Chains A and B, each alone.
Chain A
Amino acid sequence: MTALVVALAVAVLLLAVLVAGLLRSHAEILKALHELGAGLELDRSGPVPVTIDGVRTPRTGGGDPPGSISGETLDGESVGISLTAGTPVLLAFLSSGCTTCQAFWAAFADPHVQVPGGARLVVVAKSLSEESPSALAVRAPQHVTLLASSAAWEAFSVPGSPYFVLVDGAGRVVGEGSAATWPAVTTLMGQATADDRRPAREQRDEQALAAAGVHPGDPSLQGGAP
């Protein structure tokens, strides 16, 4: 009987320690969520907005992107590339050590890699003082320009790798973001290019209508039988 009581007491003690541990870890999770800005707000309904450091908000037009980038190649060349030369440029910000980047290094090894919008592909790694030149040399495709430039990462506020920025021939960013695969990137950048062309098409249509004497608000634009 005494042995049973002792065993039960030990079991209760162990369970108490377990519950205390769970409560403590739960409190730490709640504290972390609170620090991220997702703490409980009982007087507020709907989803709780969460801001996580490192995930950027979309570019809103403030802070113009640079018209050029400069850096060095793996063989010690100093390189300056204009982003306003009339040809769109897709900047692929990659790292040698990032796991997700490996799919892109492999995709760019294909000499016939299709770049959305007919853009020129430029791979931008961090400066060689922050990267592994030997690891980059193994991964770097022969037919694609690879530029090591931490300054370019800063200039485009790149949050991490992989990250892609599509710049039109006038130095304007028409699309940027990240994805896990090259087909996903081509789809996203293709959409960005198409969306960017849309206002120009609409403007052209409006000009054609204006030339024909049809202006905004014209009754003929309202549809229906004449």
Chain B
Amino acid sequence: MRLEHGGVVVDLPAGWEARARTQPPSEPGRTGNLLLHAATVPLPSARGDFGSGVVETLAPDDVFVSLFEYDAADAGRALFAARGLPVPRPSDFSTAVLQRTQLDHSGAQFFFTAAGRPFCLHVVLGSHSRRAAGAATVGRLLVRTTIGAKP
């Protein structure tokens, strides 16, 4: 299944659900930024930018991914110096990288620039002790994700 929104194309693997929307502009006159959520669990319509409302439902083998775009003016900042969409490794995950500590959940966060657009990739795994399998699941999604220029 191909999901396309705001210049980002995701060829969703089987078993995944995704939602993408254009956020309201941070300032009048600017264009809205993309927010893409993907998970191996159903995504409710009401959920936080970094997964609140979803991550609570993750089983040990489930994962949640948030691709959050920042304003284009931020692309030159050191925080977004990394180039291209990263594919997380199991060693990238930590129980400390979470908005709220959940039972055995694990998270990873990456800031990067792709196609001139600054992003944060926030990933939550259902189980830190099963992060090798979880990272592989996330990898299967991200290798099928393409970030293009902002429309």
Contacts and interface: CB of A to CB of B under 8 A. Distances in A.
A86 B22 CA distance: 30
Contacts of B104: none
B17 interface: yes
A70 to B, nearest CB: 6
B133 to A, nearest CB: 15
Interface in A115-168: 120, 142-143, 145
Of the listed residues A76, A77, A120, A143, the one surrounded by the most CB atoms of chain B closer than 10 A to its CB is: A77
Contacts of A87: 42
A70 B17 CA distance: 9
Interface string B40-73: 1111110000000000000000000000000000
B5 interface: yes
B89 to A, nearest CB: 25
A84 B14 contact: yes
A82 B17 contact: yes
Interface residues of A, number: 21
Given A76-B22, A145-B45, A82 B5 contact: no
A78 B21 contact: yes
Nearest to B42: A120
Contacts of B4: 78
A97 interface: no
Nearest to B15: A85
Contact of B1 (A68, A73, A120, A142): A68
A224 B49 CA distance: 68
Contacts of A86: 15
A77 B21 contact: yes
Nearest to A169: B15
Contacts of B43: 79
Interface of A: 67-70, 73, 75-82, 84-87, 120, 142-143, 145
Interface of B: 1-5, 10, 12, 14-22, 40-45
Q: Lowest 9 A-B CB distances belong to which pairs?
A: A68-B1, A78-B5, A80-B3, A77-B21, A85-B15, A78-B20, A84-B14, A80-B18, A80-B1
